[in-house]
Amino acid sequence: MSAQKGQANIGKVLSFLREWDRGDRTVRSRMLNTFLSHNSGKTFYELEMEFAQVASLFLARLTTWMRLTYMFGIFLGLQLKAVGIFLSASSHDQYLMEFLADGGVLTLLDILSHPPSKEDDKAEALRLLLCVSNAGRKHKEIICESHGVKVIAQCLAMSNSEESQEAAGALLESLSHGNPKYEEQIYKALIALMTCTSPKAQQLALHTLITVQQKLKSAHHSIVEPVLSMLRSLHLEVQDEATKLILHLKRYEVKTMLLSGLLTLLRPNKEEVQQHQITEEAELIRMTGSLPVFVQQAAAAKTIRLLAEEDQQLSRELLSLGVIQNLLCAMGNREHTDSQIQASLALEHFVRSFPAVAEPVQRVMGSTLFADFMTRADTLYKSMDETQAENLLSNHIAFFTSFS
């Protein structure tokens, strides 16, 4: 660039900054719209050329204005998108450091915590925090030191926007990588998220937990109860993620707790069933035709089958814990067809894998029903009468202790 052009460019930038400093919010919003349309996708070097090597002066003004006005929500979306131009620019380390030095992370977290903030603005703030997190360990630690994990987890749990939930989930996953100092904190926050009421948040928390758990040498016992509770979700995507996590957790010291918990779910007691029928879940039952405790029963049977099919030794452990007795009970639940189907398929695996199991199972079922079971386990419920179902519900097969 010639000296003459350089001087002209400097003059243009100074004029731009003067207009900004003197302008009201309407003027600034117009300037931001122009900035966004002309500079989207530019690199650090291109932005510096555009702003005569003083783009930082505009970033500082923009950050300060956002910090002073975000609580009013006026043009916040424009402000966040404009900051995003700087933070997403390739070779942007200088801009990032200046943004951090100016309290940018705290401002973004405050936006997430501010109840009147719009969901679109929260999603944009989360994407900017993701830019910070992806810049490296030091930057992840800055977010976490600012109580970011708690704020982001709350945003994920409370949001009614899938866009902001997806952004919060991606940010938590980013924070979990290469951040050993705060790994445990993120892990516990994800476990806590399973107890929230948002199915989308539960799904994202479970998905990220699988990734985080794979990097840990142990599993915290507090993970067992909430992950088993996720099996009663009426949202299949939540159930599927919970099942994947359980399949992974079998490698850790919580395995026995998980197996015992799954077997208990196969045999819900009458008091629990009655309680579900008269509580606030009654409306849900009328809408879906399914008791959550029975949905959980079916999902537990399916998970047991998947665990057993993966690991013969684990199958033996399940047998010693009384899995056959409990699967037969679930098969007799004529109030929930999926429980019968999933339990039948799981029981079929054990009968075919361990010949010693076949004789006591046949004794409970009777020869006719057992013959049907061995040929079409998935549709056995169709040929089961009330007496046969009652026999399965009240079976008393003793625990097995040895198998061939």
pLDDT in tens, 101-116: 999 999 999 999 999 9
Q: What is the pLDDT of residue 271?
A: 62
Count, residues in the chain: 404
Q: What is the pLDDT of residue 399?
A: 65
pTM: 0.89
Q: What is the pLDDT of residue 401?
A: 58
pLDDT in tens, 267-308: 987 666 655 555 545 555 554 567 899 999 999 999 999 999
Q: What is the pLDDT of residue 90?
A: 78
- Measured CA to CA, the distance from residue 258 to residue 334 in angstroms comes to 26
Q: What is the pLDDT of residue 1?
A: 47
233 vs 9, more confident: 233
- Measured CA to CA, the distance from residue 177 to residue 116 in angstroms comes to 31
% of the chain beyond a pLDDT of 70: 91
Q: Which of 90, 85, 88 is nearest to 62 (CA)?
A: 85
* Average pLDDT of every residue of the chain: 91
- Per DSSP, the three-state class of 253 is coil
Q: Look up residue 390 and give its two tokens.
A: 């009652």
Give me the DSSP letters along 182-235.
GHHHHHHHHHHHTTSS-HHHHHHHHHHHHHHHHH-SS--GGGHHHHHHGGG-S-
- Measured CA to CA, the distance from residue 211 to residue 346 in angstroms comes to 27
Q: What is the largest CA-CA distance in the chain?
A: 99
* Residue 398 CB neighbour total at 10 angstroms: 9
Give me the DSSP letters along 105-117.
HHHHHHHHH-TTS
